[in-house]
Structure 1
Amino acid sequence: MPEPFDTSSPPFDRLDAKQAKHLLSSLDVAYYRRGDVLIEKGEGNDALYIVIKGRVQEVNPDTKEVQAQYIKDDLFDARALLKGHAHHRYRVVEDTLCYVLPKAVFLELYGQNQSFADYFNTSFSKRKRMLEKAQQQQNLAEFILTQVDETNIQPIMTMPHGTSIREATLNLRRERQDCALVALEAKPHDIGIITRTNLLHALVEDGCTLASHIGEVATSPVISVEMGEYLFNVMILMTRDRVKRVRVTEDGETVGMLDMTQVLSLFSTHSHVLTLQINRAHSIEELAIAANNQHQLVANLTNNGIHTQFVMELISAVNEQIIEKAFRLTIPESFHNQCCLFVMGSEGRGEQVLKTDQDNGLILADDADWPDVQHYMERFSEVLSRLGYPPCPGNVMVNNPRWVKTLSEWMKEMVALSKISDERTLMDLAIIADSHAVAGNKALLEPVMEKLHATLKNNMLTLNTFVRPCLAFLVPLTLFGSLKADKEGLDVKKGGIFPLVHGVRTLALEKGLTETNTFERLDALVECKALDQETANNLSEALKLFVKVRLKQQLDSDASTGNQLDVTQLSRTERDLLRDCLGVVKKFKERLASHYQVRD
């Protein structure tokens, strides 16, 4: 017997109790043999099928192309139920067991429940946002249950009532704190609080002197919470009492302090702490400690339901800070204004999540006098390796003299690359088109990119060749297909991410757009009417999903560079969305092929 039908999974979780009961009472279970055709193209179907086990292919009988495959928990074909006819043929390729929901019951539920109907009516981008919103609500619940403990409080000093304002200010500065508790003299068991702002106002507005006692200006009573209190309750308390700080106690004794900024930052998983660690690093060893915390930051952000695009932006900013700090710790300050370090690839686009290979280059000012630059570049690449950024297999790194040139040499290189004489120049052009300055004299990169954009703008002959790599890979629209057959999984980079990113990059270069981030390029392409808003939205949501699904499996398997998805680990909803996303990429590739007149 099959397991009981799960009404808690989308879209059946949108049904009320009565509707769910009606659904369960109407379901039947059917067995189909390999080779059976469940729905024929152009014909109507009389039921919604939900796969229990086995496999069903959706095939275009005219071209023999497999559009999708359906496995455990997948459903089909709601569109045919609504339209009255199927667009493709549905054929059983393995002996299959299905739940069968009669058409009349499906249409009845569809008509009764707008939320249930919306699941089948909305575009995948809207459906994805609704599902993410539900996930965020679940993760918010996890945040609500987080408790105050030693890991999320900060130390706090307690000073005597008679401490002078001058002495208190010096103590705060020495301990790098902005507030302190005060043991009040008149009420020995009471505690007050002072902040740097309190002390400033006391001196400027209240006529106090540097010798005045801090007990005279301290604010009391101090709102306190016990260790173990829920963070969400702390935030409510601070909001209700209009205070920015609370004292943390254990058995009545002070053990630390929480401020509003810290409580909010705990929700965003300590990204500010990592930034402080980077800024305060005085050695490569200290910087390495901060860099090693990055993986945990990504995991926390992802587990807390933070939007994928925000994670990408935040982690790229953190990466930039780490690389810039490594540059300052490695390269003598006298050379900082004579060169520009720039990153390329996903880091240049601001789309890197986990650490990937080093992709960087160096621009030297034409009048730079730096004979041993190669020595420092080799040292810098070694430092990045120590920080967790592996060497680039293609050797696109500053320790390769080919990626270290003067400004004039880089200007000439842009013209040469734009001629695309071979596969290497084509890929070099693609990677350098996403360049972003991170350290040194960043202004040196501007004329180089201006030359690149001027050379490629409306250069349809070059772009015809440039766009071809993203058309070369087949979109794995079957989800499993040949990749599954040889146990490699689904290559989401070749099948989804690369064609999308490179196609958008090509269109941006054609229009002379200066943006490097794919999401910003999509917005700019809409602005200049090169893409319609719906297509841009769908491409944006597709890229987010590709990155999110890949990241989830990378975090689970701790394989930071893997692009092969084990589709069996995805939920039915994720597989539905992935199918939609791959369909968007396929249509986009067809559009690119037509626009640039690329023929197979």
Structure 2
Amino acid sequence: MSILEQTTFLKSIHPFENLTKAQLEKFAEALDIVYLKKDEIIQKQGDEPENIYFILKGLVQEKHEDEVLSIYSNNEFFDPISLIENYSKHTFVTAQETICYVLAKEVFIKTLRENSLLESFFFQSISQKLNANINNEKNKELSNLMVAKVKEANVHRAIVLPYETSIFDAVTTIKKEKVPTLLLKDDENKMYIVTDSDFREKVILNRMDFDDIVGKISNEGLVYVNENDFLFNAQLIMAKHGLKRVVVKNDNDEICGIIDQISLSSFFATHTFSVSNTIAKAETIEELKKASQSFTKIIKSLNAKGVKVDFISKLINQLNRNVMDKLFKMTAPKELLTNACLVVMGSEGRGEQILKTDQDNALIIDDNCSLSDEEILKFTHEYTEYLVDFGFPRCEGNIMVSNPYWCRRQKDYKDLIYEWITQPSGDNFMNLAIFYDAMAVNENRAMLTELKEYIFKIGSTSKTFYMHFAKIIMDFDVPLGFFDGFVFDSKNKEHNNEIDIKKGGIFIIVQSIRTLSLEYKSMRLNTIKRIKELQEKGELDEEFASELIEAFKFLLTIKLKSNLEKMDSGEVIDNYINPDNLNTMEKDLLKDSFKIVNRLKKKLEHHYKLNYV
């Protein structure tokens, strides 16, 4: 490449567009080019690195032991942190044939000291780079948060009282309406504002009479923003005027709310602790519903910041269970609180459902509970309707507490489990699989544990049961052809040129690992934890277990990314992805993941002799 082509290449990679013309030319003159074979180690953990690498073509993995931490592809670079710290914390190895530009450490470090923008970028980014790989695509998603509108944040209701209202009545209103701020209007329609801190600092400290006029402690000079204004503009206005809150108006110039600094912070940060705290303190079903509806915002924020999908699913799963438990405590008959175990099942039970796709829940009732079946079913029907209102869609298969099949006494569940295992059928295998993944939502988990142990007891008497239980994976084909091309279902006209990533990958991993875990009588629920346990027991070797975990995470990540894009465009979320919407690196990783799924499928075929079942 010519010097011009090299400088153009460097300028296209953030943050090297901040180099001066002279620095760019110096970089270009110092560049060497290297050709690397697949599986070639470029830099080992513990090395004192000598170069920074810019990838022209290929794929490089950053690894810690066998775990892949990050992947670098065309027009990306690595590893400035190692150069700055003079120590490589991880190993860098090619995943395919790779061509790189190489820049000597001395040139990079010298330029870093001379260019404050470059120095600022790398020293501010070190902690982030060590914890997460924030790629360009996720940065774009994060920047989208900056164009969010005021109305998308938590805008408090505007309560307007007469200026002459007593302090006592004003405080009573704040408590009743659960708002931190009141607006006041005098006889000339002039507006004032009074906050909860005004009551603390002006009324109590000055020993004011509670029957005095609240207008005396109010503030005038309100500042307004439009609900369709950008959130960051509201933040700038607050900073400019030294305010903690501004009043929100709609396009008709009517006051429709108040937004404060806490609301802004909650929007731009994940603020999961605040949400969890809101759930715990919720006193009404409406407050609980509002907290539940903030989860999608949290998911988008975490995903945009590059947080790994398994952490997101773990966090959202916990928040979902907190909501369900609180709703159960709010609405269930008193006797059920101590005599029933509410469980979530399927992907929710495994902690792998991120976006709310459907309800999979059940109720286990103590045999001695005195409530009638009619009383219980009346409650479970109401409970399901509340969850639907909260945004948890109905289960198309009717696997919900409102279905009497999934709401029964403990002894009846044992009869059901016995039937599932001893009378093999597609439905019985599906029900057992769903229930095996069950997780207790409330405190009475001992009831669920007893039923799981009963599954192990009955299942252990039938070796052929596991063979039939695993065989369902043979009904699903991995959508990868002989020459590594994607295979599409030509019969599915609605999803032409799309892949069902659940059937073709995620389900095969889940069901295969679930079957092995069931045979080992494991109480683990999460697929990744089950894989690690199977590795500890010697059923999976360390390398294959690591590959399975990475493939599973990647498939979940691609599915989440696709569904978030569909949500933003108003489409229905589903399990289909279009490979054409993936970049080159993602396509290659998807193919690699499918190859790993195929290997797992073949292992199960051999382990359970599925070709003979």
Answer whether contact 2:506 2:552 (CA < 8 A) is retained: no
CA distance in 2, matches of 1:217, 1:565: 58
Superposition pairs of residues 321-360 of structure 1, within 5 angstroms: 335=336, 337-356=338-357, 358-360=359-361
Q: Distance in 1 between matches of 2:556 and 2:437?
A: 18
Instruction: Report if aligned partners of 1:161, 1:182 keep a CA contact under 8 Å in 2.
Output: yes
Contact 2:135 2:306 in 1 (8 A): no
The whole-number CA distance in structure 1 between the counterparts of 2:170 and 2:387 is 45
Q: Which amino acid aligns with 2:598?
A: K
Q: 1:585 aligns with which of 564, 577, 597?
A: 597
Contact persistence 2:528–2:549 (CA under 8 A): no
Contact in 2 for aligned 1:312/1:353 (Cα 8 Å): yes
Q: Which runs of 5+ in 2 are unaligned?
A: 26-33, 41-49, 63-67, 73-130
Give the alignment of 1:149-228 within 5 angstroms. 153-157=155-159, 165-180=167-182, 193-195=194-196, 197=197, 199-200=199-200, 210=210, 224=223, 226-227=225-226
Q: Give the one of 526, 546, 555 matched to 1:517.
A: 526
* Separation in 2, partners of 1:9, 1:381: 58
Question: Is residue 125–residue 538 contact of structure 1 (8 Å, CA) maintained in 2?
Answer: no
Q: Tell me the alpha carbon deviations over residues 267-324 of structure 1, each in whole angstroms, 9 at most, x when there is no partner.
A: 4799969979x974479xx97x999x79986996699677555664576567657867
- Mapped partners of 1:174, 1:453: distance in 2: 53
CA distance in 2, matches of 1:500, 1:264: 39
Mapped pair 1:409 → 2:421: no
Say if 2:377 and 2:404, in contact at 8 Å, map to a contact too: no
Q: Which residue matches 2:114?
A: none
Aligned to 1:126: 70
> What secondary structure, in the 3-state scheme, does the structure 2 residue paired with 1:116 have?
strand
**What one-letter code is carried by the residue in structure 2 that aligns with 1:483?**
F
Superimposed CA distance per residue, residues 65-86 of structure 1 (whole angstroms, 9 cap, x where no aligned partner): xxxxxxxxxxxxx9xx732799
Question: Paired residues, what number?
Answer: 499
**Structure 2 residue corresponding to 1:82, chosen from 32, 36, 45:** 36
SS across alignment from 1:146:
coil
Determine the structure 2 residue equivalent to 1:432.
435
Q: Structure 1 residues 311 and 334 mapped into 2: Cα distance closer, same or farther (>3 Å)?
A: same
- Cα distance 1:559–1:239, how it changes in 2: closer, same or farther (>3 A)? closer
C-alpha separation between the residues in 2 aligned to 1:192 and 1:374? 49
How big is each residue's C-alpha offset from its partner over 1:188-220, in whole Å with a ceiling of 9 and x where there is no partner? 99967431x5534667766566457767777x7
Residue number in structure 2 paired with 1:98: none
Q: For residues 206 and 147 of structure 1, do their structure 2 counterparts lie closer, same or farther at Cα, with a shift above 3 Å needed?
A: same
1:544 is aligned with what amino acid?
L
Deviation at 1:137, TM superposition (A): 1.7
Give the counterpart letter for 2:488 in structure 1: L
Distance, in Å, in 1 between the alignment partners of 2:510 and 2:550 is 13
Task: Please give the alpha-carbon distance, in whole angstroms, between the structure 2 residues aligned to 1:148 and 1:441.
Answer: 42
Change in Cα spacing, 1:531 to 1:450, as seen in structure 2 (3 Å) is farther
Shift of 1:116: 2.0
Q: CA deviation at 1:441?
A: 5.9
Residue 588 of structure 2 is aligned with which of 573, 576, 581?
Answer: 576
Seen in structure 2, the aligned counterparts of structure 1 residues 366 and 201 have a Cα distance that, compared at 3 Å, is farther
Classify the secondary structure of the residue corresponding to 2:71: helix
Structure with bigger RCO (C-alpha 8 Å, 6+ apart)? 1
Is 581-590 or 315-324 further displaced after alignment? 315-324
- Alignment match, 2:148: 146
Give the aligned residue type for 1:389: P
- Say which is worse superposed, 235-244 or 413-422, in terms of deviation: 235-244
Answering whether residue 449 of structure 2 is matched by residue 449 of structure 1, we say no
Does residue 503 of structure 1 match 2:515?
Answer: no
Given that residues 453 and 514 in structure 1 are in contact (C-alpha distance below 8 angstroms), is that contact kept between their aligned partners in structure 2? Answer: no
What corresponds to 2:472 in structure 1?
469
CA shift for structure 1 position 264? 3.0
Check conservation: 2:295, 2:316, Cα contact below 8 A: no
Task: Give the C-alpha shift of residue 343 in structure 1.
Answer: 3.0
Contact between 2:310 and 2:553, CA under 8 Å: does it hold in 1?
A: no
Q: How far is the alpha carbon of 1:170 from its aligned partner?
A: 1.4
Query: Percent same amino acid at aligned positions?
Result: 23
Alignment partner, residue 551 of structure 1: 563
Tell me if the contact between 1:500 and 1:539 (Cα under 8 Å) persists in the aligned partners. Answer: no
- SS in structure 1 opposite 2:364? strand
Q: Would you say the 8 A contact 1:298–1:353 is kept in 2?
A: no
Do the aligned partners of residues 410 and 15 (structure 1) sit closer, same or farther apart at CA in structure 2, a change above 3 Å counting? same
Q: CA deviation at 1:392?
A: 3.8
Using the size of structure 2 for normalisation, the TM-score is 0.60
2:548·2:596 contact (CA, 8 Å) conserved in 1? no
User: Structure 1's 462 and 545: CA in aligned 2 closer, same or farther, altered over 3 A?
Assistant: same
Kindly tell me: are residues 317 and 249 of structure 1, through their superposed partners in 2, closer, same or farther at Cα, counting changes over 3 Å? Answer: same
Q: Is the 8 A contact 2:139 2:304 kept in 1?
A: no
Shift of 1:484: 4.7
Contact 1:365/1:407 (<8 A) preserved? yes
Distance change in 2, residues 1:531/1:506 (3 Å): farther
CA distance in 2, matches of 1:330, 1:201: 39
Q: Deviations over 1:18-39 (max 9, x none)?
A: 9x99xxxxxxxxxxxxxxxxxx
- Cα deviation for residue 498 of structure 1 reads 0.5
Helix, strand or coil for the counterpart of 1:574? helix
Conservation of the 8 A alpha-carbon contact between 1:222 and 1:246: no
In the alignment, which of 472, 483, 488 is matched to residue 488 of structure 2?
A: 483
Matches within 5 A, 1:165-314: 165-180=167-182, 193-195=194-196, 197=197, 199-200=199-200, 210=210, 224=223, 226-227=225-226, 230-232=230-232, 234-235=234-235, 244-246=244-246, 256-267=257-268, 280-281=284-285, 307=307, 308-309=309-310, 312=313
Alpha-carbon distance between aligned partners in 2 of 1:381 and 1:172, rounded to the nearest angstrom: 30
**Is 1:567 aligned to 2:579, yes or no?**
yes
Tell me, in whole angstroms, the C-alpha distance in 2 between the residues paired with 1:161 and 1:266.
32
Relative to structure 1, is the Cα distance of residues 346 and 242 closer, same or farther in structure 2, using a 3 angstrom cutoff?
farther
Structure 1, unmatched stretches of 5+, are 22-77, 87-110
> Contact 1:492–1:564 at 8 Å: present in 2 too?
yes
Q: Distance in 1 between matches of 2:529 and 2:242?
A: 38
RMSD: 5.8
Partner amino acid, structure 1, of 2:589: L
Q: Could you tell me how far apart the structure 2 residues matched to 1:115 and 1:414 are? A: 58
- DSSP 3-state at the match of 1:114: strand
Moved more, 262-271 or 562-571: 262-271
C-alpha separation in 1, matches of 2:343 and 2:450: 13
Asked if residue 389 in structure 1 is aligned to residue 393 in structure 2, the reply is: yes
Give yes or no for contact 1:351–1:517 (8 Å, CA) kept in 2: yes
CA distance in 2, matches of 1:262, 1:136: 23
> Matches of 2:327 and 2:369 in 1, distance apart?
21
Q: How far apart, in 1, do the equivalents of 2:184 and 2:404 lie? A: 61
CA distance in 2, matches of 1:203, 1:564: 60
**Could you list the per-position Cα deviations for residues 541-577 of structure 1 after superposition, in whole angstroms to 9, with x for gaps in the alignment?**
2242242255257548866474343333434343223
1:261/1:290 CA distance change after superposition, 3 Å: closer
Residues 550 and 463 from structure 1, CA distance in 2 versus in 1: closer, same or farther, beyond 3 angstroms?
farther
Question: Is the Cα contact below 8 Å between 1:377 and 1:398 reproduced in 2?
Answer: no
Q: Does 1:364 align with 2:365?
A: yes
Letter in 1 for 2:374: D
CA separation in 2, counterparts of 1:401 and 1:181? 50
Deviation at 1:432, TM superposition (A): 0.7
1:310-321 → structure 2 map (5 Å cutoff): 312=313
In 1, distance between residues paired with 2:387 and 2:155?
A: 34
1:333–1:13 distance in 2 versus 1, CA, 3 Å: same
Per-residue deviation, 1:426: 3.0
Decide whether the 8 Å contact of 1:385 with 1:391 is kept in 2. Answer: no
The residue type paired with residue 595 of structure 2 is: G
